[in-house]
């Protein structure tokens, strides 16, 4: 069902954001900075030179370097902060829960529509198959009434056994004739095999054909057909006996003539005196040939019901019923797969919306923590800067003889970079709750509709099958 593919497309898992929390901004190593900036040495050196002067109102080069270092660190953190904030805002926009609800609602409706279409198509196909069964059943019923048949048809489900019998007697007769005909053949046993093959093919082939097509008419309802085909079978039996006598004359001729002249001699001998066969082995050939022909005749008859065309019409009805049964089983399996697939897919869509709601709340919380963390980190950087400047000024005071400048008594302050004003949320908590309730209701209703449609389809299929079963039962009872 095509909508199952749409549901699967909607089930792409939401990407999870893995950003560090409050501890994401790196802490500073104050002692390492003191060494890198050489604050102790430079403070004593500037103090011994009475720098900065007592009347100076500006930061000296060391203080400025400390401030620049802190502000540079704050700039790095600001870039990280902006990147994380942009990612959170983009992810919030991508969640688009309300639009997702619309997609889920459409997918649910299409799933039901496609499922109904699949059910109707399957039922139509099943009814066509049932009508085909009815048609062949009626044909068989009319055939039985026309020919006065009250018994069920009898025929083998497989012809392997019968074909095996034919193969065995054909090979046996070929070998038997080859041994007998090899005497006098200029090509020896090989020549005898070739002639035996042709003889066996004619002897058994004609018997098999007549047993399959002609003998059943002996059981036909109409006396005229019985008489006609009975005469054909009688003619065949006489002809087969004569054919095997001719073969026996041919074997006798091989004993005194070469194979190229033996056929003419055998024909002349047969026409003059058919039963004048001098070699007892040749009589054995006659008996074996007639016996194998008789087996082939009855084997051909056993390949189908003995009454002409009865097996044919019964097989047509049976195949139609088997086709119906296969279609029914296949339809039920397909409907179950579609029902289960749609139900599971819709339930997963519901879970996906729940995850999106949870992710929405998580992003809001993480974004709020990010804002708080950035403001906190600015306070931390300010305290680091003050600690470095205080250390420098204290060492500077100890090394100078003059009064330090007045700004040494004032604490340094880091100019704050204010957090941006966050865009308002597209959905309030109240609206989100409404969306989740609406989604849950829609999906649950769709699942119930799919289940109901499946149950109705099963009932309809069973009704179709019940009608067919009743007809089949009546058909069996009439047999």
For residues 408 and 397, what is the distance between their CA atoms, to the nearest angstrom? Answer: 9
pLDDT for 17 equals 42
Are 227 and 289 in a shared domain? yes
Domain span holding position 105: 2-10+31-117+321-478
pLDDT, tens digit, 9 for 90 and up, residues 96-152 = 777 777 777 787 788 788 888 888 888 888 888 888 988 988 898 899 898 888 888
Q: Contact 72/328 with Cβ under 8 angstroms?
A: no
Residues 108-141 as b/e (b if ≥16 CB within 10 A, e otherwise) read bebbbebbeebbeebbeebbebbebbbebbeebb
- Last residue of some domain: 252, 273, 303? 303
Q: What's the pLDDT score for residue 440?
A: 82
| 248 HSE (CA, 13 A, CB side) | 26
Residues 178 and 293 both lie in one domain? yes
Question: How far is residue 351's CA from residue 356's CA, in Å, rounded to a whole number?
Answer: 9
242 found inside a domain:
yes
Question: Does the residue 295 lie in any domain?
Answer: yes
Q: Indicate if 340 and 467 belong to the same structural domain.
A: yes
| Domain co-membership, 46 together with 83 | yes
Q: Is it the case that residue 301 has pLDDT exceeding 80?
A: yes
308 in any annotated domain:
no
Asked whether residue 51 is assigned to any structural domain, the reply reads yes
- Whether residues 41 and 187 share a domain: the answer is no
- Would you say residue 39 lies in a domain? yes
**Domain count of the chain?**
2
Segment 275-287, tens digit of pLDDT:
888 778 888 888 8
Same-domain status, 326 and 298: no
Task: Name the DSSP class of 404.
Answer: P
pLDDT mean across residues, the chain:
82
Q: What is the pLDDT of residues 28-60, one digit of tens each?
A: 999 999 999 999 999 999 999 999 999 898 999
Q: Are residues 357 and 463 in the same domain?
A: yes
Whether residue 278 sits in one domain with residue 249: yes
Let me know whether 6 and 100 are in one domain.
yes
> Is 373 in the same domain as 273?
no
* Residue 171 in this model has a pLDDT that exceeds 50: yes
129 assigned to some structural domain: no
Give the end of a domain, one of 303, 337, 360.
303
Is 276 domain-assigned? yes
Do 469 and 352 fall into the same domain? Answer: yes
């Amino acid at each position: 069902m095509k909508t199952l593919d749409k549901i699967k497309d909607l089930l792409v898992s939401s990407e999870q954001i893995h950003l560090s929390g409050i501890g994401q901004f790196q802490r500073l190593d104050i002692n390492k900075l003191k060494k890198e900036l050489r604050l102790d040495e430079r403070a004593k050196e500037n103090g011994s030179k009475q720098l900065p002067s007592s009347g100076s109102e500006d930061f000296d080069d060391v203080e400025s370097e400390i401030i620049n270092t802190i502000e540079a660190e704050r700039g790095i953190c600001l870039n990280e902060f902006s990147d994380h904030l942009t990612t959170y805002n983009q992810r919030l926009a991508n969640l688009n829960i309300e639009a997702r609800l619309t997609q889920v609602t459409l997918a649910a409706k299409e799933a039901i529509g496609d499922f109904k279409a699949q059910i109707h198509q399957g039922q139509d196909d099943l009814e066509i198959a049932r009508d085909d069964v009815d048609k062949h059943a009626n044909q068989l019923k009319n055939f039985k009434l026309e020919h006065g048949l009250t018994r069920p048809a009898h025929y083998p489900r497989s012809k392997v056994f019968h074909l095996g019998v034919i193969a065995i007697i054909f090979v046996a007769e070929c070998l038997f004739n080859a041994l007998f005909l090899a005497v006098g053949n200029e090509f020896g046993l090989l020549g005898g095999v070739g002639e035996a093959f042709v003889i066996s093919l004619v002897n058994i082939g004609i018997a098999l054909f007549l047993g399959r097509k002609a003998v059943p008419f002996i059981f036909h309802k109409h006396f005229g057909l019985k008489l006609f085909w009975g005469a054909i079978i009688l003619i065949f039996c006489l002809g087969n006996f004569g054919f095997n006598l001719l073969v026996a004359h041919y074997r006798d001729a091989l004993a005194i003539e070469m194979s190229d002249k033996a056929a003419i001699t055998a024909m002349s001998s047969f026409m003059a005196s058919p039963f004048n066969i001098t070699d007892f082995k040749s009589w054995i050939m006659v008996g074996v040939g007639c016996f194998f022909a008789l087996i082939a005749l009855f084997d051909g008859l056993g390949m189908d019901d003995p009454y002409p065309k009865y097996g044919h019409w019964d097989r047509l009805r049976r195949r139609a019923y088997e086709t119906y049964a296969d279609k029914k089983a296949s339809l039920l399996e397909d409907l179950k797969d579609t029902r289960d697939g749609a139900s599971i897919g819709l339930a997963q869509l519901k879970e996906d919306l729940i995850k999106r709601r949870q992710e929405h709340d998580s992003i809001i919380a993480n974004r709020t923590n990010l804002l708080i963390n950035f403001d906190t980190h600015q306070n931390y950087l300010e305290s680091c800067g003050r600690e470095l400047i205080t250390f420098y000024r204290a060492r500077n005071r100890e090394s100078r003889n003059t009064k330090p400048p007045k700004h040494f008594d004032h604490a340094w302050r880091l100019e704050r970079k204010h957090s941006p004003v966050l865009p308002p949320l597209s959905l309030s908590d109240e609206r989100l709750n409404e969306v989740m309730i609406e989604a849950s209701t829609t999906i649950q209703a769709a699942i119930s509709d799919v289940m109901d449609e499946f149950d109705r389809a099963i009932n309809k299929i069973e009704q179709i099958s019940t009608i067919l079963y009743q007809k089949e039962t009546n058909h069996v009872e009439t047999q």
